[in-house]
Amino acid sequence: MIKDETNAVLEHVAANLKRLRAQNQMSQQMLADKSGISRRMVAALENGNSNISLAKLSQLAAVLGASFAHIVSPYDNEGKTKRNVLTWRGEKSGSEAFLSCSFSAENQVELWMWSIAPGDKYQAESDPEGWYEMVHIIEGSLTLVFAHETQILSAGESVVYSSSQPYSYHNETNEMLRFVRNVVG
């Protein structure tokens, strides 16, 4: 089932990239040049043969004039994005992230629900300058690691930080970690 869900996300990414690239009348090379992502990676994504970081998908979305949600989500018959889309799965059973909803205002705003199993982690890439994350711990303990600082957050605690820096989420406990993540850019 895990492999099937992961393949479904890759299928949505592939179909959406092709559709959005065609709507923007861009070749794979043009998309690669404008996004800073190799043409080989763009081609592999469009064939459903490659996985890519969430930050790089956001770069592609920006170039295509779409939201991150439009890149990873299946569409219903009316062309609306569906909610609670699986977008990341860790190495350990139970580690996953679902994009709950997203909207574009003056800024991009995303709401995420995360679960990270004991001993698992997620390594993020830096977002563009001016992007922030708000994290609220629902259950367990999150070790949030930055280049020069580590914060440990327990259930009920929240934090806001600039995501235009490398960071990672770690569950260093023996309990499941669940948290809400808002991204504002």
Are 174 and 126 members of one domain? Answer: yes
From 50, 156, 140, select the one nearest 95 (Cα to Cα): 140
Classify residue 149: in a domain, yes or no. yes
Last residue of one domain, picked from the residues 31, 48, 72? 72
SS3 call for 170: strand
Are 99 and 68 members of one domain? Answer: no
Tally: H helices and E strands in the chain: 5, 10
Last residue of one domain, picked from the residues 72, 100, 117? 72
Domain harbouring 124, CATH code = 2.60.120.10
Rounded CA separation 34/50 (Å):
20
**Residues 130-161: pLDDT tens digits?**
888 999 999 999 999 999 999 999 998 889 89
Last residue of one domain, picked from the residues 10, 42, 72? 72
Are 59 and 113 members of one domain? Answer: no
Are 179 and 94 members of one domain? Answer: yes
From 69, 60, 65, 16, select the one nearest 37 (Cα to Cα): 60
Structure tokens at 177: 């970690």
Are 164 and 101 members of one domain? Answer: yes
Classify residue 79: in a domain, yes or no. no
Are 90 and 128 members of one domain? Answer: yes
Rounded CA separation 167/145 (Å):
5
Domain that holds residue 66: 2-72
Report the mean per-residue pLDDT for the chain. 85
- Supply the pLDDT for residue 79: 47
Rounded CA separation 32/24 (Å):
13
Are 113 and 144 within 8 A, CB to CB?
no
**Residues 48-86: pLDDT tens digits?**
887 788 788 888 999 999 887 778 777 554 444 455 677
Residues in the chain: 185
Amino acid identity of 130? G
- Supply the pLDDT for residue 101: 63
What is the count of structural domains for the chain?
2
Give burial (CB, 10 Å; 0-12/13-18/19+) of 72: buried
Classify residue 163: in a domain, yes or no. yes
Classify residue 151: in a domain, yes or no. yes
Find the mean pLDDT for residues 14-31.
92
Is it the case that residue 92 has pLDDT exceeding 80? Answer: yes
